[in-house]
Each structure stands twice: as C-alpha cells, then as structure tokens.
Amino acid sequence: MPANPKQLARRVYQGERSGIARAITLVESTRQDHRRKAAGLLAELGSLGAREGLRIGITGAPGAGKSTLIDCLGTKLTRNGLSVAVLAVDPSSTASGGSILGDKTRMSALVRNPKAFIRPSPTGGFQGGVSRRARDVVFVCEQAGFDVVLVETTGVGQTDILVSGLVDIFVLLVSPGAGDDLQGIKRGIMEKADLVLVNKSDGEFMSQASRTCADYASALRLLRSRRQDPDGFPVAMNISALEDRGIQGTWKHVLHLAEWRRQQGFWRQNRQNQAVSWFKSEIDERIRERLLADEELRARISAQEDRVRSGRLHYDAAAQEIVEELWSRVGQERVSGSQSVDNPQQAAK
Ligand SMILES: Nc1nc2c(ncn2[C@@H]2O[C@H](COP(=O)(O)OP(=O)(O)OP(=O)(O)O)[C@@H](O)[C@H]2O)c(=O)[nH]1
Ligand SMILES: [Mg+2]
C-alpha cells in the first residue's frame, strides 16, 4: 500500500489504472491504518479540483441482465470516445454466486477495452458499510476523470436504495413475465427509477415482454409525476441487451433526462443534497465507529443488551447510559490530549 496519499491522489487524477485500483482498495479497506490513509487520499483528491462524470445506477434482480447491459452500453460509449468505469456494489459477493466471476465473464467485451475500468465488489462484500465505501469509490472514479460511472447493484436488502442516493440517474432492469405482482419490486425502487428497462425482449419472450412493459408503464403513471422529470418520464421500455436492441434509445433517454435536469437546476440540487446527506451519515458512522472501537464500551453494550433482553432495563435508559459513557470518555480524552500538548515531552511520544 503506498505510503503517500498525495502521490497516490496524483496518479488517480492522471487516470493511471494501477493507481486507481490501489486507491479503491484503500478506501474499501476497514483496517484502521488504511482508514486514516484513505481519509488523507480523499482529502488530497478533493483538493485537486472537482471533476464530474455522469453517474448511473443500474439495479435489478439477480440474472436480470445488468452485466450484459453494461457490457453492451459501455462498449458503445467507449466507441463514442467516452471513458467508462463500472462498479459492482453487492452487500456480499456470495449473494449472487460470486460477482467477480460473473462480472468478468459477462462483460467480456468491456473487460478488454482500454477505455473501460471494471471494479467488481470486494470479496466478502463491503464490510464497512455498503454506502460509505461505494460513494468513496464513485468519488475516486470521478476524480480519475471517467466520463461515465456505471454502478451495478442487485436489489438485495437496501443496497439499491443506497445506490440511488449516489447516482444522477437510476435505472431499474427487469425480466419479462411475472407482471402481475411487478415481480415483487419494492415500491421504493419504483419511486426512484428514472427508466425501467424490460430486458430480454427477444425471441420467445417477446410478447410477454411487451405486456410486462405495459404493466410497468401504467404502474409508473399511477405512482407519481415528479417535479424532477420532463414529459414522458419515468420511461418504461423494451430492450434486449443480448441482441443490442433499445440500447441506443436508452442512452438517448439518459442524455435527454440529464440535460433537462441540468437546465432546470435539479442536477445541481440533487448533487448538493447528496453531498449533505453523505456528510451527515459520515458523522453518524464516525460516532458509531468510535463507540465500537472501544473494547470496554463494547462490553458495556453487550451487558446492557442482556439487561434489555431480560426486561431488567428499559431500552431507552440503556441507550442513554451508553451514550453518556461515550461522551464522558471523549471528554477525558480531550483533557488528557490538552495535557500532553502542555507537556511537549509527552506529546512527542
Ligand atoms: N435472452 C436474453 N438473455 C439475456 C439478455 N441479457 C442477459 N441475458 C442472459 O441472462 C443471464 C444473466 O445475465 P447477467 O448480465 O449476468 O445478469 P445480472 O443481472 O448481471 O446478474 P447478477 O450480476 O448475477 O445479478 C445470462 O445468461 C445472460 O446471457 C437478453 O437481453 N436476452
Ligand atoms: Mg451482474
């Protein structure tokens, strides 16, 4: 792991692949010393001047064809001279049977493309919190100068909602059929989707795919009309990632939506809101980290848990005690910290 965040930040900014890969490994790491270096790297990268790519989230059930779509779309974009970063965000890469293998084999064209960079989700998933690591990785890719950042996520748990909070445009990919219950798609996802693509609209699936698309179109109409949408959005359309049908049209919709939101000011507004919400969740996460880093506090929490479970202590009072204990420890740290500043010998230790 490189010792110098400044150097690494420069390499990332210059778009150097090995530097980008290293930077991502660093920000994904949960090791305390790596966390510190990662913070330094992010700060350095931030100071190098903001770059903005187009961030697109692609979600859908396992096997819906997300990787196939990304391979097809990504290849087209690179042919148009755009550079593309692909990130896979899974709560656990075992959930989809090992996304590393899946991603590399299903993005066979893109994997060999020099204008594309593919980063599968880390083995064992994002232990340090999906959203936090993923947004750092997205930031690294943007600062590396990629024009388009595609984020693939399966609709497992809350990851799709989290990913929708770190992209500009959110795409839901579905398979034909099971239109009656809209495939159990969570309402929250439908509300976030800018485009619903009914994939596998080919061969024997064709007529079923048209019905599914009509179902989604009417569900989207019923659901809402958002202020942040131009006429006709959110769009539901048939595509075939395998046969490269509707992909060009999908991209046109994406560009139209992006342009419209830029002009209306919604683009900037969305990015600003995202930045503020990340800032707030960083605070939450840091407090939580500080709490759990303390062995004695962890033991206290576990003891309180037993008392809450057995009904000896109310959950509210139990939580209050833990938080008070944390504040008092932080206070003690500050006192001993300022003492060591007064005492240069101790401070030097
Ligand atoms: N007929 C047809 N099959 C497709 C299409 N797109 C993808 N498939 C097939 O569907 C299967 C799953 O495709 P993937 O692209 O790996 O799906 P995914 O959504 O990325 O899957 P996970 O990453 O495991 O969640 C593969 O066998 C693809 O060949 C399509 O447009 N038509
Ligand atoms: Mg995939």
Cα 229 to Cα 9, 192, 210, 273, distances in angstroms: 36, 11, 24, 17
Give me 327's structure tokens.
């504040």
Q: In ligand 1, which atom is closest to the CA atom of 239? A: 31
Mean of per-residue pLDDT scores for the chain:
86
Residue 101 alpha carbon to ligand 2 centre in Å: 9
Q: Where in the chain is the domain with CATH 3.40.50.300?
A: 50-263
Alpha carbon nearest to ligand 1 atom 13, residue: 65
Write out the CATH class of domain 1-49.
mainly alpha
Q: Looking at per-residue confidence, does 108 or 115 come out higher?
A: 115
Half-sphere exposure of 140 toward its Cβ, with a 13 Å CA cutoff?
Answer: 34
The β-bridge partners of 238 are: 198
Whether the per-residue pLDDT at 88 is higher than 50: the answer is yes
Tell me what pLDDT residue 339 has: 62
Q: Tell me the best of 106, 110, 111 to mutate to test the pocket of ligand 1, counting ligand atoms within 8 Å of each CB and taking the most.
A: 106
Give the percent of the chain with pLDDT over 90: 58
Q: Where in the chain is the domain with CATH 1.20.5.170?
A: 1-49
Q: Tell me the best of 68, 75, 159, 199 to mutate to test the pocket of ligand 1, counting ligand atoms within 8 Å of each CB and taking the most.
A: 68
Residue 343 alpha carbon to ligand 2 centre in Å: 57
Task: Report the phi/psi class of residue 184: left, alpha or beta, with left for phi > 0 and alpha for psi in -120 to 50.
Answer: left
Least confident of 48-52, 67-71, 221-225: 221-225
- ∠ CA(160), CA(161), CA(164), 5° rounding? 85
pLDDT in tens, 310-330: 999 999 999 999 999 999 998
Tell me what pLDDT residue 106 has: 72
Q: What span, in angstroms and rounded, lies between the C-alpha atoms of 48 and 55?
A: 20
- The crossing angle, in degrees rounded to 10, of helices 266-293 and 130-143 is 130
Whether the per-residue pLDDT at 308 is higher than 90: the answer is yes
Using the structure block, give the residue that is written with the tokens 């399966």: 154
Q: Which of 152, 90, 147, 85 is nearest to 116 (CA)?
A: 85
Give the percent of the chain with pLDDT over 70: 84
Average pLDDT over residues 231-258: 96
pLDDT in tens, 198-211: 999 999 989 999 99
Q: What span, in angstroms and rounded, lies between the C-alpha atoms of 127 and 133?
A: 9
Considering every ligand atom shown, identify the ligand nearest to the alpha carbon of residue 68 and give its number: 1
pLDDT in tens, 150-185: 999 887 667 788 888 899 999 999 999 855 556 566
Q: What are phi and psi of 157, to 5 degrees?
A: 60, -135
Give the pocket of ligand 1 (CB within 6 Å): 60, 62-68, 96, 99, 102, 106, 154, 199-200, 202, 240-242
Considering every ligand atom shown, identify the ligand nearest to the alpha carbon of residue 59 and give its number: 1
Tell me what pLDDT residue 95 has: 43
Tell me what pLDDT residue 161 has: 81
Whether the per-residue pLDDT at 293 is higher than 60: the answer is yes
Residue 244 alpha carbon to ligand 2 centre in Å: 17
Q: Which of 178, 265, 190, 194 is nearest to 222 (CA)?
A: 190
The burial class, CB within 10 Å (0-12 / 13-18 / 19+), for 79 is exposed
HEC assignment per residue over 55-116: EEEEEECCCCCHHHHHHHHHHHHHHCCCCEEEEEECCCCCCCCCHHHHHHHHCHHHHCCCCE
Residue 173 alpha carbon to ligand 2 centre in Å: 11
Contact in structure between 255 and 247 (CB atoms under 8 Å): no
Alpha carbon nearest to ligand 1 atom 17, residue: 65
Considering every ligand atom shown, identify the ligand nearest to the alpha carbon of residue 69 and give its number: 1
Q: What are phi and psi of 42, to 5 degrees?
A: -60, -40
Q: How confident is the model at residue 91 (pLDDT cuts 50, 70, 90)?
A: low
Using the structure block, give the residue that is written with the tokens 């795409």: 171
Residue 67 alpha carbon to ligand 1 centre in Å: 7
Cα 50 to Cα 7, 185, 223, 309, distances in angstroms: 17, 36, 36, 49
In the 8-state DSSP scheme, what is residue 315? H
Average pLDDT over residues 101-118: 79
Q: How confident is the model at residue 65 (pLDDT cuts 50, 70, 90)?
A: very high
CATH T-level topology, domain 50-263: Rossmann fold (3.40.50)
Residue 74 alpha carbon to ligand 2 centre in Å: 14
Residue 108 alpha carbon to ligand 1 centre in Å: 13
Considering every ligand atom shown, identify the ligand nearest to the alpha carbon of residue 239 and give its number: 1
Q: How confident is the model at residue 297 (pLDDT cuts 50, 70, 90)?
A: very high
Whether the per-residue pLDDT at 112 is higher than 90: the answer is no
Considering every ligand atom shown, identify the ligand nearest to the alpha carbon of residue 106 and give its number: 1
pLDDT in tens, 258-273: 999 999 999 999 999 9
Residue 125 alpha carbon to ligand 2 centre in Å: 14
Tell me what pLDDT residue 131 has: 62
Cα 308 to Cα 300, 312, 326, distances in angstroms: 12, 6, 19
Q: How confident is the model at residue 98 (pLDDT cuts 50, 70, 90)?
A: very low
- How, if at all, do strands 54-60 and 148-154 pair? parallel
